């Protein structure tokens, strides 16, 4: 097992504007939970109004930035701050890569452009619409923003994107391709996925209830998580005290169905097994698992099948009770929350959960729970049968 140092991390979502305040929100249940005007289902939002039009985004963000990119750069700035490293100094001395997972920022943020063209009123001369369209390579835009010269990759594996981005960043470090990698995930609330989940009949106006007997759907969320990974040599050269470690990563696509998870969780079981093997750990070494836990009937049942098979008796935390489902950002936001929980030696409650489901086979953590073990697992499921898992270690992990 090779530990990959996390030099710093940052986060923003509905329950906070930094990694610290997000964890406070996770402990208390504080989150911005709204029913957007004229809409049937609720959402977890940041401080921005939801469904911003292109001209409104232009007012909120620097020129050429989508809202999703703005979220990621905000989280990345926090990661650099806590690492105590200036991006320009890192860029001047090291090979720095960027990997960002997203769903919305891959294309959906161009909704106004598509709508105008479909209505027969294209505005090809509008530079703002085109600027947002060409900003759809989130990783490239972030790399240019910081002046990095290393490789960049935007990962679009639906709701597993953020987890895959962190896992791939680890592989870039271990292979020697990069000395440091800025990675994570980001997504804004957007009409296309919002309406899509509504039409699939898996969204709800109520606050989501991960693993609850009466769960009735997901709430779309938004935000970003960013992690700065380094190799050991770079961490020593920049006098970085790691804030945690990426210990293992696993990925498996079972291609079961375009939108439904495999009820037997074959792909997820493989992803979790691969991640544990990569980390050189067993289930009993884990303090908890930060579950995907969307609160849809099918997702939670499939995930439970994997946990009952591979992670029996490992405490389960459903963090989407305070973040909502942040889509391509979910895995990265949850990686940051997992690291903060490990470093604070406490598992937050699963907000929204009320009644155990006998078909699930376990109840998630319902109260603040102290922990002593120093590693945890975070997993993601996605459309198309994509599954991914990370094993993360606390800042004092010495395994």
How crowded is residue 81: how many other Cβ atoms within 10 Å of its Cβ? 13
Active site residue 132: no
**CB-based contacts of 328, cutoff 8 Å, min separation 6:** 101, 102, 103, 104, 105, 106, 155, 156, 158, 159, 161, 162, 185, 186, 187
The two tokens of residue 361 are: 């086979």
Active site residue 61: no
Spell out a b/e string for 30-44, using b for 16 or more CB atoms within 10 Å of the CB, else e: bbbbbebeebebbbb
Active site residue 110: no
From the list 11, 15, 159, 208, the catalytic residue is 159
β-pair type (152-155, 33-34)? unpaired
From the list 109, 132, 145, 292, the catalytic residue is 292
If phi > 0 it is left, if psi is from -120 to 50 it is alpha, else beta; for residue 312 that is beta
If phi > 0 it is left, if psi is from -120 to 50 it is alpha, else beta; for residue 147 that is left
**Maximal CA-CA distance, the chain:** 61
From the list 70, 109, 145, 325, the catalytic residue is 325
How far, in Å, CA of 68 to CA of 251, rounded?
24
Spell out a b/e string for 12-25, using b for 16 or more CB atoms within 10 Å of the CB, else e: bbbbbbbbeebbeb
Active site residues: 159, 292, 325
């Amino acid at each position: 097992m090779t530990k990959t140092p996390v030099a710093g991390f940052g986060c923003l979502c509905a329950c906070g504007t930094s990694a610290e305040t997000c964890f406070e929100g996770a402990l208390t249940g504080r989150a911005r939970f709204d029913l957007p005007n004229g809409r049937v289902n609720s959402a977890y939002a940041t401080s921005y109004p939801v469904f911003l039009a292109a001209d409104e985004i232009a007012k909120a963000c620097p020129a050429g930035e989508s809202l999703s990119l703005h979220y990621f750069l905000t989280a990345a700035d926090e990661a650099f701050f806590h690492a105590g490293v200036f991006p320009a100094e890192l860029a001047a001395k090291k090979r720095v890569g960027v990997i960002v997972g997203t769903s919305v920022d891959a294309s959906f943020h161009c909704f106004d452009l598509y709508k105008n063209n479909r209505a027969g009123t294209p505005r090809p001369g509008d530079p703002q619409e085109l600027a947002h369209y060409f900003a759809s390579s989130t990783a490239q835009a972030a790399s240019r923003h910081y002046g990095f010269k290393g490789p960049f990759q935007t990962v679009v594996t639906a709701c597993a994107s953020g987890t895959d981005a962190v896992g791939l960043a680890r592989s870039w470090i271990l292979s020697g391709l990069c000395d440091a990698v800025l990675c994570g995930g980001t997504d804004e609330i957007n009409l296309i996925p919002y309406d899509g989940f509504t039409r699939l009949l898996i969204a709800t106006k109520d606050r989501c209830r991960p693993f609850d007997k009466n769960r009735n759907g997901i709430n779309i969320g938004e935000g970003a998580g960013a992690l700065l990974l380094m190799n050991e040599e770079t961490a020593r050269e920049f006098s970085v005290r790691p804030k945690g470690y990426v210990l293992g990563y696993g990925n498996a696509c079972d291609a079961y169905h375009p939108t439904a998870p495999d009820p037997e969780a074959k792909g997820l079981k493989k992803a979790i097994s691969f991640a544990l093997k990569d980390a050189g750990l067993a289930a009993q070494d884990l303090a908890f698992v930060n579950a995907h836990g969307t609160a849809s009937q099918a997702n939670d049942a499939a995930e439970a099948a994997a946990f009952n098979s591979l992670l029996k008796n490992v405490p389960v935390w459903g963090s989407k009770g305070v973040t909502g489902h942040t889509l391509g950002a979910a895995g990265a936001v949850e990686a940051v929350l997992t690291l903060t929980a490990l470093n604070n030696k406490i598992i937050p409650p699963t907000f929204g959960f009320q009644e155990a489901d006998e078909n699930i086979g376990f109840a998630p953590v319902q109260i603040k729970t102290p922990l002593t073990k120093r590693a945890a697992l975070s997993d993601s499921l996605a459309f198309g049968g994509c599954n991914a898992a990370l094993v993360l270690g606390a800042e004092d992990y010495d395994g």
